[in-house]
Amino acid sequence: MPLVEIQNLQLDLTVEAGRVRVLDGVDLSIEQGTVHALVGESGSGKSLTAMSLARLLPEGFAQRAGGRVLVDGRDVFALDAGALRQVRGGIVSYVFQEPATALNPVMRVGDQILESLRLHQPDRATRAEVEAWLRRVGIPAPEVRARQYPQELSGGMQQRVMIAMALAPRPRLLVADEPTTALDVTIQAQILDLLMDLRRELGMTILLITHNLGVVAEIADDLSVMYAGQVVETGPAATVMTDPAHPYTKALLASVPRLGAGNQLLATIPGAVPPAGRPPTGCRFHPRCPVAASPCGVEVPIPRSMGGGRVVRCPFAVVGAVAGKGAA
């Protein structure tokens, strides 16, 4: 059984303009012990999908309009407050890009990690364990740092404290939403190595949201690609990256500069992401799709299994070196 199963999730946000559907039929399945990468342009719905796993969005602001989210067999949107607290931190932990939103400014960082341990791993809630985690995420002199407040630490150090706080309760699933973007390259590599060690040691499952396709190629087992509130392609990362089937995945991969390509300009995908809640008719990608055909502006593509774990939301997509409509 997959650790995470999102089935046809529809999520609405109530914003100034009214109620808008920002996720519209998201399917995502994450196998136990794997690293599943989620990519897509800004605004495609990656963070909202990830936050739905622990129902982190305020009820008045976000409403589930349909579909189910199953985490470790639990129907997350059906849980009461107590059961939800168990899921948050105990089963699913989050690392966000912005540490300031996750750390309490008036509490010493060591105490914050200790509190998280008390809640979910009471037997391990000791100062020694806290310092061990700080050391593990690359914080020197952890006994000194543990006594400091977040604002006494640099942005990179705060990020590492947040990672320690997320990992200390040994969650089954770590959601890392752009976890290293704010860090310098050496520390990014250290943090990713640490995540990989923990995945081996604890059998941890990771949902990794990133704009860095180099990282995806290096560490992801599976890859899902989002566009305008839907997953348009999913499958084993290595095959999706070498043989993308959906025209959007192809365009996204083509926009990545190759290592060693000097100042080569990025190929941008022509056109803009549709505004939230106001997608084009038919296939949402059709106004930007280089191989769009006449039915594409009318018929809504449904996800189609193409074998080898690949599911693609485009009726013209092909896999393998077969020349055809979607293979352009």
Ligand X SMILES: Nc1ncnc2c1ncn2[C@@H]1O[C@H](COP(=O)(O)OP(=O)(O)OP(=O)(O)O)[C@@H](O)[C@H]1O
Q: Which residues bind ligand SF4 (CB under 6 A)?
A: 247, 283, 285-286, 289, 291-293, 296, 301, 314-316, 326
Is 6 a binder of ligand X (CB under 6 A)?
Answer: no
Q: How many CA atoms lie within 13 A of 61 on its CB side?
A: 8
Is 22 a binder of ligand X (CB under 6 A)?
Answer: yes
CA angle (174 as vertex; 97, 106 as ends), nearest 5: 50
Out of 44, 159, 205, 249, which residue is the one contacting ligand X (CB under 6 A)?
44
Which of 139/296 has CB closer to ligand SF4? 296
Pattern 34-53, Mg ion, x by CB under 5 A: -------------x------
**Is residue 12 a contact partner of residue 18, using CB atoms and an 8 Å limit?**
no
CA distance 168 to 120: 9
Strands, E, within the chain: which ranges?
A: 4-15, 18-30, 35-39, 62-71, 74-75, 92-95, 173-177, 205-209, 222-227, 230-236, 304-305, 311-312
Out of 130, 176, 215, 276, which residue is the one contacting ligand X (CB under 6 A)?
276
Point out which span in 46-54, 103-111, 197-205, 233-241 binds ligand X (CB under 6 A): 46-54
**What's the closest the beta carbon of residue 305 comes to ligand SF4, in angstroms?**
16
**What's the closest the beta carbon of residue 297 comes to ligand SF4, in angstroms?**
8
Task: Please state, as a whole number, how many other Cβ atoms lie within 10 Å of the Cβ of residue 218.
Answer: 13
Query: How far does Cα 287 stand from its chain's mean position?
Result: 26
* CA nearest neighbour of 224 among 203, 250, 249: 249
Is 158 a binder of Mg ion (CB under 5 A)?
Answer: no
Is 164 a binder of ligand X (CB under 6 A)?
Answer: no
**Is residue 70 a contact partner of residue 47, using CB atoms and an 8 Å limit?**
no
**What's the closest the beta carbon of residue 125 comes to Mg ion, in angstroms?**
32
* CA nearest neighbour of 52 among 204, 169, 226: 226
Report CA Rg, the chain: 21
Is 188 a binder of Mg ion (CB under 5 A)?
Answer: no
- What, of ligand SF4, ligand X, Mg ion, none, does residue 44 touch, CB below 5 to 8 Å by kind? ligand X
Point out which span in 1-9, 41-49, 163-171, 239-247 binds ligand X (CB under 6 A): 41-49
Which of 47/112 has CB closer to Mg ion? 47
| Binding residues for ligand X (CB under 6 A) | 13, 15, 22, 40, 42-48, 276
